[in-house]
């Protein structure tokens, strides 16, 4: 859904490749909803070199896009040129000459592809009453008349790539003059492989079962007896005049086609190699059994469990230092000043080796053991660190930004008037903390 035409074709070719199905590309029409009588749009007076260019350009694009796809193997040059001639010598209307030009054009760009060439119709009486005698006395369907190849063969640059691909319908209201018998099919195209050595693959056949059921059963038996390959039309159900194969009402068609001949892929490859005078590619030999999976290597020594050494006797530990403050305001002190706030918490001291236990201190005097008073310098030094209530920003007071290393602590370069009142309990006329 949402894909353009070539993108949808790309997706289809890839899906068929995954399913192991070969693909033949064909150009059915040049313009939408038109089935031109010739291989160009302008049919009045035939097809000139300029008129052929759209078809040549289309095949150039397809070859460039799909020649590298391994399951694309053939090109059906054009569908049912029912208004063309064969062998008249007129370059503008002779389909055999146009097929040579188109086929060589494709082979020059993708030499491995097969070139399928359909027939013309009863134009000039080729099927019913042509003066050459190469006729059956009955009319032909569009694209069915390939028997002029006997007298005027198509000559490609590589003759082994040519495949004639007639279309055959009959026994219904659209083609009442076609009786559909083995004698007629032999004259039209059935004996060309054995008599001329050119392969024939029936490119289209089928129809609505209620109208053409007996005719289709006779055609199926004929194809099996002659050992001819074919393409049944059509797979989709949107062909109003032939029907398709998807709907369950086509069960009789399924039962009939179940007996169709099928070629194995190695046999097909051998046949193609024989035509190309190349040895067939050897069939792939079965893969050897996988060796036993090796065990994973042992983990490195550092990942292995090591024996736990016995714990040493407990040593006397020194009291752990106080944890570093988590915010700037926790280590602001009216005595240390704003510089300590801006620099951040001091780094922890390096670990020192355990020292022997210190001797007991001498007995102190009663005066030394007395708790400090709430006033005086010695008392302020022993005050615990407490957060400021409203620290005023250093930037606002100083009128400039602190150095980059101190910007994360800039909110602590502040006046300590409120802090001092709270801690010392007095008004304190100190102007501000000194900058160290």
How far apart are the C-alpha atoms of 80 and 143, rounded to whole Å? Answer: 4
> Ramachandran region of residue 378, left (φ > 0), alpha (ψ -120 to 50) or beta?
alpha
Residue 113 CA to residue 69 CA, distance in Å, equals: 11
Q: Length of the chain in residues, anyone?
A: 436
Torsion of CA 386, 390, 395, 401, to 10 degrees: 40
DSSP state of 245: S
Q: How far apart are CA 327 and CA 372, in angstroms?
A: 28
d(CA 20, CA 71): 8
Q: Which residue of the set 52, 80, 100, 144 is catalytic?
A: 80
Specify whether 221 is catalytic: no
C-alpha closest to that of 79 among 144, 176, 149: 144
289 to 137, 292, 295: CA distances (angstroms): 65, 9, 18
Contact 156, 97 (CB under 8 A): no
| Three-class SS state of 75 | strand
Query: Are 84 and 123 a contacting pair, CB within 8 Å?
Result: yes
Catalytic (active site) residue 1: no
49-66 and 95-107 are packed helices; what angle lies between their axes, rounded to 10 degrees?
40
The CA distances from residue 22 to 66, 181, 206, 266, in Å, are 12, 31, 21, 13
- What angle do helix axes 5-18 and 49-66 make, rounded to 10 degrees? 40
**Residue in 50, 100, 204, 221 annotated catalytic:** 204
Rounded to whole angstroms, how far apart are CA atoms 278 and 301? 61
Picking from 250, 244, 419, 226, the residue whose alpha carbon sits closest to that of residue 335 is 419
Q: What are the residue numbers of the active site?
A: 80, 204
């Amino acid at each position: 859904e949402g894909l353009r035409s070539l993108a949808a074709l790309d997706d289809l070719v890839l899906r068929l490749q995954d399913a192991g199905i070969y693909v033949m590309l064909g150009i059915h029409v040049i313009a939408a909803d038109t089935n031109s009588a010739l291989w160009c749009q302008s049919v009045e007076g035939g097809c000139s070199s300029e008129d052929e260019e759209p078809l040549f350009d289309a095949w150039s694009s397809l070859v460039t896009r799909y020649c590298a796809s391994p399951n694309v193997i053939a090109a059906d040059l054009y569908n049912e040129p029912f208004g063309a001639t064969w062998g008249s010598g007129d370059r503008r209307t002779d389909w055999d000459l146009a097929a040579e030009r188109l086929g060589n054009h494709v082979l020059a760009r993708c030499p491995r592809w097969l070139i399928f060439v359909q027939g013309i119709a009863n134009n000039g009486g080729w099927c019913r009453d042509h003066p050459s005698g190469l006729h059956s006395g009955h009319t032909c369907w569009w694209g069915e008349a390939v028997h002029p190849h006997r007298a005027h063969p198509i000559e490609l640059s590589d003759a082994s790539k040519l495949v004639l691909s007639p279309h055959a319908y009959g026994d219904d209201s659209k083609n009442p003059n076609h009786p559909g018998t083995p004698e007629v099919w032999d004259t039209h195209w059935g004996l060309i492989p054995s008599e001329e050595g050119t392969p024939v693959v029936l490119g289209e056949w089928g129809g609505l079962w209620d109208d053409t059921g007996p005719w289709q059963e006779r055609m199926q038996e004929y194809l099996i007896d002659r050992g001819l390959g074919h393409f049944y039309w059509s797979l989709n159900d949107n062909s109003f005049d032939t029907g398709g194969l998807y709907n369950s009402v086509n069960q009789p068609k399924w039962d009939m086609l179940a007996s169709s001949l099928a070629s194995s892929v190695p046999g097909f490859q051998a046949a193609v190699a024989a035509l190309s005078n190349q040895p067939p590619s050897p069939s792939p030999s079965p893969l050897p059994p996988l060796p036993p999976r090796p065990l994973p290597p042992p983990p490195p020594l550092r990942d292995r469990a090591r024996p736990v050494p016995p714990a040493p006797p407990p040593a006397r530990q020194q009291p752990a230092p106080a944890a570093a403050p988590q915010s700037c305001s926790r280590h602001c002190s009216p005595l240390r000043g704003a510089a300590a706030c801006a620099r951040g918490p001091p780094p922890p001291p390096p670990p020192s080796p355990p020292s022997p236990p210190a001797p007991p201190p001498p007995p102190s005097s009663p005066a030394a053991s007395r708790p400090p008073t709430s006033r005086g310098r010695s008392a302020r030094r022993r005050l615990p660190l407490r957060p400021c209530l409203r620290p005023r920003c250093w930037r606002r007071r100083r009128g400039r930004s602190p150095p980059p290393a101190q910007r994360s602590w800039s909110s602590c370069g502040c006046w300590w008037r409120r802090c001092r009142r709270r801690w010392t309990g007095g008004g304190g006329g100190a102007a501000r903390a000194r900058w160290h």
